[in-house]
Structure 1
Amino acid sequence: MSAMRTIVGMSGGVDSSVAALVLQEAGEPIAGLFMRNWAEDDSGDCRAEDDRRDAVAVCGRLGIPMHFRDFSSEYWSGVFAHFLDEYAAGRTPNPDVLCNREIKFKHFLDAAQELGAQYIATGHYARIARSGEGWKLLKAADRGKDQSYFLHQLGEDQLAATRFPLGELHKTKVREMARAANLPTHAKKDSTGICFIGERDFREFLGRYLPARPGPMRTPDGQPVGEHPGVFYFTLGQREGLNIGGRRGFAAAPWYVVGKDVARNVLYVDQGTDSPWLQSQSLDTQHVHWIAGSPPQRRFTCMAQTRYRQPDQDCEVTVADDGTVGVRFAQRQRAVTPGQSLVLYDGEVCLGGGVIASTDAPLEQLIREQAA
């Protein structure tokens, strides 16, 4: 048997550390590989070097070989450039979905195979199952940590070459195992937010690449209530950072972003978390990726998520000839956001998904009509 059959993507966090531990305890010949996906800047906020040291320490503790690859240029062209383009267009992208498709399950997989490995493994909370001649992506046993939403762009070939050792484990058990094995990352805080921003202020970071373009904040009926620094800094349903304060003639209730008109540089806001301007019942997507290679039918019912960790929503899906889909939900949805991913499920099986292009939210329709 080869001295190394599986290469584990070591991020320097507790999840990838325990993924390696699980495989090693099962007798799997493994090595680790640390990916550098973001070039350091001068802010001192990027934690990549700390993560690299932690990954090295874990591999040392487990006694396994460690490899390094720099994918920062691939990340910039394959993930970050798209991220900026989407924000500039007024949409809210999800870079984790692209990072998985373009970096972790493409460049990392290629690098692992070049090193002689048959499989890659990561610390994602998801499961893979063989189904006849094909492969399926399933939700994790720990539904609160399930990450299949971010993995919906994978195909069967990638799933066949991938292992998710944490798929059957709950996060509390993962922490316990790391502590029992005395892994250096056992108490390390989970990373949150967008990987290349880290703990930095999002608006300040984005402002380095998309210069501020102030404009008016208005209610949906056109009343001015303030000024915004740039519509692309905000997303639908957002409450923080509006700085509207008390306004004469308005109730003392919190304000929320309910619409963005990029062409006119107007940010629309309304009061109340359940504002009718945030509600929609149907959406259309860009081209949808199906894990099995094709949709189950041209028209079918299933469950869907329009954002990570959203409870599954009943819907009907209609597949168009151009590969896009139209979706109608059984219940009205709040703050469905163009640029985010629609991910479809049949029970615990992830069918695939695509980027949300538009919804029937009333303000979004009005803005489209004005632009026509």
Structure 2
Amino acid sequence: MKRVIVGLSGGVDSSVTAYLLKEQGYEVIGLFMKNWHDDSVTVSDECPWLEDSNDAMIVAEKLGIPFQTVDLSEQYKERIVDYMFDEYEKGRTPNPDVLCNREIKFDVFMDIALSLGADYVATGHYCRKAEEVINAKTVYKLLAGKDKNKDQSYFLCQLSQKQLEKALFPIGELTKPEVREIAKKADLITADKKDSQGLCFIGKVRLPEFLQQKLKPKEGLIVQIPENFNDYVKSTPHFENKQAELDYFSTKYKYHLKDGKVVGKHQGAHYFTKGQRKGLAVGGTKEPLFVIETDVDENVIYTGEGKKHKGLYRSVLFVSNEELHWVREDLALKTGETMKVEARIRYRQPLEKAILHKVENGLFVEFLNPQSAIQEGQFVAWYKVDELLGSGIIS
């Protein structure tokens, strides 16, 4: 009997994961990860992890599997929370869920599981794993979940071959309604439990309040940039080569105070992210204002009216070599090579046609259609059909 350690989170997905593995004849152990108990950045009066760990324990009892809680809050603070504050301070927008999978679930947690003699670690992610022998070597593939509405492969876009080898995703072949149905039939307490929102494992966090604990409020100006801003209407130069063209189109617009009109004040540019509409509290425009750029050094937020505003769109983005990751290492591009793919720059965004261009210092992703709110610090992931091949942090 192979031993599998399931990350039991107290939700329906991980409960059904444990149930299915037990049905398949694995020896199953449930571990609950406690990742947060720093009350100095209290999230709200609710304490979701207590309720969640309790639900996880009840599920384990029902399934007759061993259960324990592991405290990973120190590693979580170092690798996720501190990183988040650091990125926001630089005016970038991190994705804690992707990092949480790479750094916590499939690293720290996986090490604990393997030290307990586990053959595999299983999670309740909506994605699938396949394997194929290529050139006498087993290659692991990360595939989208069957439920297109719930596909979570994007959150696992930073996993390595070594991590994938030890991972199992039992609910990847199912849809969410099917998972709930199984939980009901098995009489699991989590069958009707609402999906958790908010940060991976921390639960409900109102981000500005969370960030205010470490990044102090600082009043600054909100500037509105008009549609006829010079750089939007100037003619495209002639390019010596393809790389010069990609460089040009991946460079973001530079704004100064004189380029628009001051329409309001904010409490800190680092609390805002590109594409954001809520929280600006500026009225008097026909269409809502959207953040098109934040300048954390000058503490200025630049906005544009309407979601079609030119300042929101770019068709090319860049990933540096240091932040480039191939799940399929065997398909990694060499300098000068290109690859047609489909890509997304955020979770649940429909896949968009794109071409990857590998250059000496990194990789350009050139989209067929301009993308709204490409934000530094977020992850871009690329696919062929339903296989996720690689990803990178947008620079």
Give the TM-score normalised by structure 2. 0.86
User: Conserved in 2, the CA contact under 8 Å of 1:40 and 1:46?
Assistant: no
Tell whether 2:299 aligns with 1:265: yes
Aligned to 1:369: none
User: Conserved in 1, the CA contact under 8 Å of 2:36 and 2:202?
Assistant: no
Aligned to 2:212: 207
Task: Give the Cα–Cα distance (whole angstroms) in 2 for the partners of residues 202 and 292 of structure 1.
Answer: 34
User: Conserved in 2, the CA contact under 8 Å of 1:303 and 1:345?
Assistant: yes
Matching of residues 161-310 of structure 1 within 5 Å:
161-195=166-200, 198-220=203-225, 221-246=259-284, 251-286=285-320, 287-297=323-333, 298-310=337-349
User: Conserved in 2, the CA contact under 8 Å of 1:16 and 1:122?
Assistant: yes
Task: Give the Cα–Cα distance (whole angstroms) in 2 for the partners of residues 343 and 273 of structure 1.
Answer: 24
Between 290-299 and 224-233, report the one with greater CA deviation.
Answer: 290-299
User: What fraction of aligned residue pairs are identical, expressed as a percent?
Assistant: 45
Task: Give the partner amino acid of 1:144.
Answer: N
Aligned to 1:135: 140
Among 341, 344, 349, the residue aligned to 2:387: 349
Q: Partner of 1:213: helix, strand, or coil?
A: coil
Deviations 1:317-353 (A, max 9, x none): 112334x211111111111111110001011110110
Structure 1 stretches of 5 or more lacking a match? 358-372
Task: Give the Cα–Cα distance (whole angstroms) in 1 for the partners of residues 315 and 140 of structure 2.
Answer: 32
Deviations 1:93-150 (A, max 9, x none): 0011111011100111111111111111000011000111111100001111111101
Task: Give the partner amino acid of 1:264.
Answer: E
CA spacing shift, 1:167–1:356, aligned 2, 3 Å: same
Task: Give the Cα–Cα distance (whole angstroms) in 2 for the partners of residues 157 and 57 of structure 1.
Answer: 32
Aligned to 1:368: none
Task: Give the Cα–Cα distance (whole angstroms) in 1 for the partners of residues 359 and 219 of structure 2.
Answer: 39
Task: Give the partner amino acid of 1:290.
Answer: W
Task: Give the Cα–Cα distance (whole angstroms) in 1 for the partners of residues 307 and 376 of structure 2.
Answer: 19
Task: Give the Cα–Cα distance (whole angstroms) in 1 for the partners of residues 114 and 49 of structure 2.
Answer: 24
Shift of 1:201: 2.5
Among 345, 370, 390, the residue aligned to 1:332: 370
CA-atom RMSD, angstroms?
1.4
Task: Give the Cα–Cα distance (whole angstroms) in 2 for the partners of residues 278 and 196 of structure 1.
Answer: 31
Task: Give the Cα–Cα distance (whole angstroms) in 2 for the partners of residues 197 and 232 of structure 1.
Answer: 21
User: Conserved in 1, the CA contact under 8 Å of 2:198 and 2:205?
Assistant: no
Tell whether 2:17 aligns with 1:19: yes
Task: Give the Cα–Cα distance (whole angstroms) in 2 for the partners of residues 214 and 74 of structure 1.
Answer: 33
Shift of 1:46: 3.5
Task: Give the partner amino acid of 1:271.
Answer: E
User: Conserved in 2, the CA contact under 8 Å of 1:46 and 1:197?
Assistant: no
Aligned to 1:103: 104
**Stretches of 4+ moved more than 4 A in 1?**
none
Q: Partner of 1:303: helix, strand, or coil?
A: strand
Shift of 1:296: 4.1
Structure 2 stretches of 5 or more lacking a match? 226-258
Q: Partner of 2:394: helix, strand, or coil?
A: strand
Shift of 1:294: 4.9
Aligned to 2:160: 155
Deviations 1:142-178 (A, max 9, x none): 1111111010111111111110001100000001111
User: Conserved in 2, the CA contact under 8 Å of 1:45 and 1:200?
Assistant: no
Shift of 1:40: 4.2
Task: Give the partner amino acid of 1:169.
Answer: L
Task: Give the Cα–Cα distance (whole angstroms) in 1 for the partners of residues 25 and 34 of structure 2.
Answer: 28
Aligned to 1:51: 52
Give the TM-score normalised by structure 1. 0.91
Task: Give the Cα–Cα distance (whole angstroms) in 1 for the partners of residues 92 and 294 of structure 2.
Answer: 9
Task: Give the Cα–Cα distance (whole angstroms) in 1 for the partners of residues 124 and 325 of structure 2.
Answer: 23
